[in-house]
């Protein structure tokens, strides 16, 4: 098969061994630097595009998850974590060292569109410059910032001045003629429809959007830096709750738990995995309910009943989470090797409460279908607006409901199983419409799938023998993973692929902690959806992306 | 035609108090106008800070104001004090005095419309200020001054969101004013007069009697199609869901209102409510038999209140339930749908009335 014909373009479904990949890349590989999750090939900084396009075109690695950049004592390094949308367990890392004194590396943007923002972030925080990048500017920090905060020689005490520049219309000159003119409009950072502190630099031609550029970073809280200053065992786990703070806490905690457990080789007891699975799906319902609520707000206006109805349902699941974790938003419930405590006593009461919620849920979903999805005006507004074709979605590294709304059948719970998901009976939801409506439908149907999962977990937990309820594995007080081990692990968060890259250096704290935020990649697709549409469609498209700025900016 | 309308309110004042000459008429008119204006202000005062909250809360499973006074009713004076006590912020570069006139013009135009609306009787008092021969045309003219105010506010605010809101207001009003008036014309063909007392009087006859109940010849029953058309256009005219496009807080941050605070904001807010009530009043005059209803003529004001508040409730219901259409879709519905339908209705009505009469 592809062994004999390595140059032909195949469908990418074929799994190649690391050695076959090395043979495919030939001279491009200068060294091997394997990670725990994937083989790693070290290449020269001027062959990034060539290497990535071979891997993309000929080996089927069509998903650039994330670009992790870091600085070593003797070099800079960018790692391109590649996967396949068809089978995300097939991974490969492309490691690109750059010169310590003059860190320049070729940009991957012409091969993977998603590299645009990821490389801008690497430039902003680490200081690596990317050749051939279309628009290498700072992305999280203000343009006037001095130094790169995650680089080694960064001076923390240096005073920083952030100016308030007048935003200029980028299209002013070449869009002006006798009949028409463009208008520059700042949407946000304080605007009812930006769902947080997002700034959209929008250029309008009448009511139509000619150009929209998301400007992010207003909620940047140095989450990566904070994780790098905490110890693996206990000090990092509270932070993930604060990335996607819209009640998706347990999903985020699982991202860290999965990466760190694989890094430190911790086996989680099955009982704890079932509890985790149940809790995570409760979080997904809560997160999707809020997405639905705010989307209704964007489409219907701010007095819509749908908003409060969805918030009510979210409240019910939030109460269950409170019973389970003792907290409503910042759960901090997972521990490396399990969860912090068992189900609340009396267990029967918790089970019956959960079942009541699950029983009532189909009725609520039906009501939302009556209220919004079957409403003709709503359909008029959302069908065929904010269109994101599947190829574009993949190119931008879009994941989660955004990708699945474009027919990209990609869900890490099924494709790269973790927890207890592969033992349960549920389906991955996809819609083919590629528009705002499809993305909403995906979320609404996923709520039902999550309910199915929770129901099965409750049944399992109810019948679990009392003497086998082991909620935590034996984990050493201090974790010191081996020096120079690297791992990238992802879970299916509420918004998509939430991944963590960790490099251990033999101490009890990570040397590099990189968060792959699904919202970050998803938000990057906004101009593709919005350009040429009307202002209300931009608002609708943004709402259908369901971003949380806490996760975008980290 | 029905029974002869009772004496107009200012004439009643002149007669009752024996006010002499032109001066007496002027005084009587002013007093009458003040009474009517205060009724409308009272409606808006109840609607804005209290009823609207309670109604929306009922639709959205909430409780809303209930801390001060019975049913939270004391929120009305509290809100009045709070709103008036706020600082009036005048942004840099606003175009004065246009910016100052706009918030006065909006409630004033809607208020003027009530001068020709028969609001029913309280005892011997007939709350009807004037009854000119072109009353119906006049009331539409008054109502549409509102869009001038919106454009002024949007343009003078020196804010791009306000400008977009102002532009949307014009586009929307052009698209809906014509179907609205053309539909009202079909009623005029039935009634044979533009005089409002005539239009109302024509609706007092009995259409059919079902099981002992007299169904009056309200034009909503005579021509339900025109009623639905008019109701839809009216929703656009007053700018409520699904047609709250000039405001659209989640898109253009309340549009023309964005830069207004304190008393000016109150005036806009008030203007909107008066406008909704005027919309309800026009609807009841043209299609729902004005202030008529069961019971003696002397309590017909109650029926007027019921109808107008019914319409207000309807707008709030729409607000809670119906999504907002996009501006281009609205223009399309207006020019390609409503306009055609309204003219079809007009021609058909003319033919039917011509054949029967």
DSSP one-letter string for A331-359: ---EETTEESS-PPSSHHHHHHHHHHHHH
pLDDT on residue A281: 92
Cβ distance of B60 and A372 shorter than 8 Å: no
| Region of poorest pLDDT, from A155-159, A364-368, A455-459, B121-125 | B121-125
Q: Where are the domains of chain A?
A: 18-131, 223-553
Residue A7 confidence class, pLDDT cut points 50, 70, 90: very low
Contact present, A498 and A516 (Cβ < 8 Å): yes
Paired tokens of B30: 């002013």
B203-251 per-position pLDDT tens digit = 877 777 777 777 777 887 778 888 898 998 888 888 777 888 777 777 7
CB contact, 8 Å: B62 with chain A? yes
Alpha carbon distance A522, A110 (integer Å): 18
Alpha carbon distance B91, A450 (integer Å): 50
Nearest to B323 among A185, A207, A299 (CB): A299
Residue B141 confidence class, pLDDT cut points 50, 70, 90: confident
Mean pLDDT of A227-254: 88
DSSP A369: I
A336 Cβ partners below 8 Å, 6+ apart?
A: A232, A233, A237, A257, A260, A261, A264, A266, A475, A479
Q: Which residue has the tokens 């207004």?
A: B260
Contact present, A263 and A488 (Cβ < 8 Å): no
Cis peptide before B9 (omega within 30 of 0): no
Q: What would the CATH number be for the domain defined by A223-553?
A: 1.10.645.10
Residues of B in contact with A192 (CB under 8 A): 249-250, 253
H or E stretch covering A443: helix A436-462
CB contact, 8 Å: B336 with chain A? no
Alpha carbon distance B218, B200 (integer Å): 9
* CB contacts < 8 A (A, B): 86
In angstroms, the separation between the Cα of residue A312 and the nearest Cα of chain B is 9
3-class DSSP string for chain B? CCCCCCCCHHHHHHHHHCCCHHHHHHHHHHHHHHHHHHHHHHHHHHHHHHHHHHHHHHHCCCCCCCCCCHHHCCHHHHHHHHHHHCCCCCCCCCCCCHHHHHHHHHHHHHHHHHHHCCCCEECCEECCCCCCCCHHHHHHHHHHHHHHHHHHHHHHCCCHHHHHHHHHHHHHHHHHHHHHHHHHHHHHHHHCCCCHHHHHHCCCCEEEEECCEEEECCHHHHCHHHHHHHHHHHHHHHCCCCCCCCCCHHHHCCHHHCCCCHHHHHHHHHHHHHHHHHHHHHHHHHHCCCCCCCCCHHHHHHHHHHHHHHHHHHHHHHHHHCCCCCHHHHHHHHHHHHHHHHHHHHHHHHHHHHHHC
Residue A358 confidence class, pLDDT cut points 50, 70, 90: very high
Nearest to A192 among B56, B168, B250 (CB): B250
Cβ distance of B251 and A193 shorter than 8 Å: yes
Percentage of the residues of chain A whose pLDDT score is greater than 70: 95
Average per-residue pLDDT for chain B: 84
In angstroms, the separation between the Cα of residue B173 and the nearest Cα of chain A is 17
Structure-model confidence comparison of residues A67 and A178, the more confident one: A67
Bridge partners (DSSP) of residue A66 are A81
Question: Which chain A residue has its CA at the smallest distance from B162's CA?
Answer: A185
Mean pLDDT of A274-292: 92
Residue B84 confidence class, pLDDT cut points 50, 70, 90: confident
* Torsion angles phi and psi, residue B34, rounded to 5: -65, -40
CB contact, 8 Å: A309 with chain B? yes
pLDDT on residue A2: 39
Q: Is the four-CA dihedral B226, B228, B229, B235 of positive or negative sign?
A: positive
In angstroms, the separation between the Cα of residue A534 and the nearest Cα of chain B is 8
Average per-residue pLDDT for chain A: 87
Which residue, among B54, B57, B326, B330, would best test binding to A if mutated, counting the most A CBs under 10 Å from its CB? B326
Q: Where are the domains of chain B?
A: 9-356
Residue A167 confidence class, pLDDT cut points 50, 70, 90: low
A411-456 per-position pLDDT tens digit = 998 888 888 898 888 889 998 888 999 999 999 999 999 999 999 9
CB contact, 8 Å: B329 with chain A? yes
Q: Per-residue pLDDT for B3 more than 70?
A: no
pLDDT on residue A22: 81
Residue A488 confidence class, pLDDT cut points 50, 70, 90: very high
Residue A6 confidence class, pLDDT cut points 50, 70, 90: very low
Q: Per-residue pLDDT for A12 more than 70?
A: no
Nearest to B249 among A301, A305, A381 (CB): A301
Q: Per-residue pLDDT for A272 more than 50?
A: yes
Which residue, among B250, B252, B324, would best test binding to A if mutated, counting the most A CBs under 10 Å from its CB? B250
Question: Which chain A residue has its CA at the smallest distance from B240's CA?
Answer: A301
HSE (side-chain half, CA atoms, 13 Å) at A465 = 2
HSE (side-chain half, CA atoms, 13 Å) at B164 = 28
A538-548 per-position pLDDT tens digit = 889 998 988 88
3-class DSSP string for A166-204? CCCCCCCCCCCCCCCCCEEEEECCCCCCCCCCCEEEEEE
Under DSSP, is residue A119 helix (H, G, I), strand (E, B) or coil?
helix
Question: Which chain B residue has its CA at the smallest distance from A186's CA?
Answer: B160
- ipTM, two decimals: 0.81
Residues of A in contact with B327 (CB under 8 A): 207, 534, 536
Contact present, A18 and A39 (Cβ < 8 Å): yes
pLDDT on residue A177: 60
Paired tokens of B91: 């942004």
In angstroms, the separation between the Cα of residue B158 and the nearest Cα of chain A is 13
Alpha carbon distance B53, B244 (integer Å): 18
Nearest to A303 among B56, B164, B248 (CB): B56
Alpha carbon distance A91, A55 (integer Å): 11
HSE (side-chain half, CA atoms, 13 Å) at B336 = 6
Alpha carbon distance A370, B234 (integer Å): 26
A223 Cβ partners below 8 Å, 6+ apart?
A: A239, A242, A243, A515, A554
Residue A3 confidence class, pLDDT cut points 50, 70, 90: very low
| Region of poorest pLDDT, from A165-169, A198-202, B131-135 | A165-169
pLDDT on residue B6: 66
CB contact, 8 Å: B322 with chain A? yes
Residue A515 confidence class, pLDDT cut points 50, 70, 90: very high
A18-131 has which fold? Beta Polymerase; domain 2 (3.30.460)
């Amino acid at each position: 098969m592809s062994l004999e014909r390595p140059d032909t373009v195949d469908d990418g479904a074929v799994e190649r061994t690391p050695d076959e990949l090395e043979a495919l890349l030939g001279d491009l590989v200068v060294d091997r630097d394997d990670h725990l999750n994937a083989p790693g090939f070290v290449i020269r900084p001027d062959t990034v595009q060539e290497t990535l396009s071979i891997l993309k075109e000929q080996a089927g690695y069509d998903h650039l998850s994330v670009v992790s950049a870091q600085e070593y004592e003797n070099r800079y390094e960018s790692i391109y974590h590649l996967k396949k949308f068809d089978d995300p367990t097939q991974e490969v890392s492309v490691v690109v060292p750059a010169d310590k004194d003059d860190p320049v590396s070729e940009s991957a943007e012409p091969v993977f569109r998603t590299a645009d923002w990821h490389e801008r972030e690497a430039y902003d925080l680490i200081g690596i410059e990317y050749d051939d990048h279309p628009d290498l500017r700072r992305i999280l920090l203000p343009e006037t910032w001095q130094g790169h905060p995650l680089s080694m020689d960064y001076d923390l005490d240096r005073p920083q001045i952030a100016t308030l520049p007048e935003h200029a219309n980028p299209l002013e000159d070449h869009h002006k003629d006798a009949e028409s003119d463009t208008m520059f409009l700042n949407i946000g950072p304080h605007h009812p429809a930006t769902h947080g502190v997002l700034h959209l630099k929008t250029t309008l031609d009448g009511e139509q959007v000619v150009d929209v550029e998301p400007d992010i970073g207003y909620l940047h809280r140095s989450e990566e830096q904070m994780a790098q200053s905490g110890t693996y065992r206990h000090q990092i786990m509270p932070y993930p709750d604060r990335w996607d703070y819209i009640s998706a806490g347990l999903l985020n905690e699982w991202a860290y738990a999965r990466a760190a457990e694989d890094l430190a080789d911790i086996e989680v007891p099955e009982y704890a995995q079932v509890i985790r699975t149940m809790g995570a799906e409760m979080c997904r319902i809560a997160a999707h309910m809020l997405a639905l609520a705010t989307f209704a707000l964007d489409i219907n206006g701010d007095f819509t009943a749908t908003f409060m109805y969805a918030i009510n349902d979210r409240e019910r699941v939030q109460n269950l989470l409170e019973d389970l974790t003792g907290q409503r938003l910042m759960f901090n419930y997972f521990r490396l090797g399990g969860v912090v405590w068992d189900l609340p006593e009396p267990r029967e009461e918790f089970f019956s409460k959960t079942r009541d919620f699950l029983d009532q849920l189909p009725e609520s979903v039906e009501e939302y279908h009556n209220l919004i999805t079957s409403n003709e005006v709503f359909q008029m507004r959302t069908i065929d607006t904010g269109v994101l074709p599947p190829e574009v979605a993949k190119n931008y590294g879009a994941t989660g409901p955004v990708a699945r709304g474009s027919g990209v059948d990609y869900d890490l719970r099924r494709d790269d199983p973790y927890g207890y998901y592969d033992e349960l009976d549920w389906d991955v939801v996809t819609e083919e419409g590629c528009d705002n409506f499809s993305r909403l439908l995906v979320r609404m149907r996923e709520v039902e799938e999550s309910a199915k999962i929770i129901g099965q977990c409750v049944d399992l937990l109810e019948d679990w023998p009392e003497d086998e309820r082991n909620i935590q594995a034996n984990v050493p007080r201090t974790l010191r993973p081996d020096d120079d081990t690297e791992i990238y692990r992802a879970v299916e968060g509420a918004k998509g692929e939430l991944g963590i890259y960790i490099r251990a250096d033999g101490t009890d704290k990570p040397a590099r902690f990189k968060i792959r935020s699904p919202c970050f990649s998803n938000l990057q697709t906004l101009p593709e959806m919005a350009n040429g549409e009307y202002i209300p469609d931009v608002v609708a498209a943004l709402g259908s992306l369901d971003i949380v700025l806490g996760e975008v900016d980290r | 035609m029905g029974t002869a309308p009772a004496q107009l309110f200012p004439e009643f004042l002149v007669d009752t108090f024996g006010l002499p000459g032109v001066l007496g008429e002027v005084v009587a008119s002013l007093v009458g106008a003040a009474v009517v204006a205060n009724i409308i202000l009272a409606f808006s005062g109840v609607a804005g800070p209290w009823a609207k909250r309670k109604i929306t809360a009922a639709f959205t499973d909430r409780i809303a104001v209930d801390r001060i006074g019975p049913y939270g009713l004391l929120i009305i004076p509290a809100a009045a004090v709070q709103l008036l006590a706020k600082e009036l912020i005048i942004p840099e570069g606003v175009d004065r005095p246009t910016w100052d006139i706009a918030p006065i013009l909006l409630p004033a135009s809607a208020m003027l419309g009530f001068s020709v609306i028969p609001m029913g009787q309280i005892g011997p008092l007939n709350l009807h200020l004037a009854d000119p021969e072109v009353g119906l045309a006049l009331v539409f003219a008054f109502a549409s001054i509102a869009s001038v105010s919106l454009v002024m506010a949007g343009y003078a605010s020196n804010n791009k969101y306000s400008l977009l809101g102002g532009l949307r207001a014009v586009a929307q009003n052009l698209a809906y004013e014509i179907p609205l008036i053309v539909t009202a014309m079909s009623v005029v063909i039935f009634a044979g007069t533009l005089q409002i007392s005539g239009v109302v009087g024509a609706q007092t006859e009995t259409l059919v009697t079902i099981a002992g109940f007299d169904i009056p010849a309200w034009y909503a029953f005579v021509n339900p199609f025109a009623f639905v058309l008019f109701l839809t256009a009216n929703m656009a005219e007053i700018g409520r869901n699904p047609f709250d496009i000039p405001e659209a807080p989640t898109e253009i941050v309340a549009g023309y209102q964005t830069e207004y605070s304190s008393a000016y904001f109150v005036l806009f807010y008030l203007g909107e409510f008066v406008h909704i009530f005027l919309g309800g009043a026009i609807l009841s005059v043209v299609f729902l038999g004005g202030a008529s209803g069961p019971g003696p003529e002397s309590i017909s004001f109650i029926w007027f209140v019921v109808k107008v508040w019914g319409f207000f409730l309807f707008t709030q219901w729409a607000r809670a339930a119906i999504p907002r259409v996009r501006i281009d879709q609205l223009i399309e519905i207006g020019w390609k749908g409503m306009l055609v339908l309204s003219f079809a209705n007009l021609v058909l009505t003319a033919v039917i009335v011509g054949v029967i009469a």
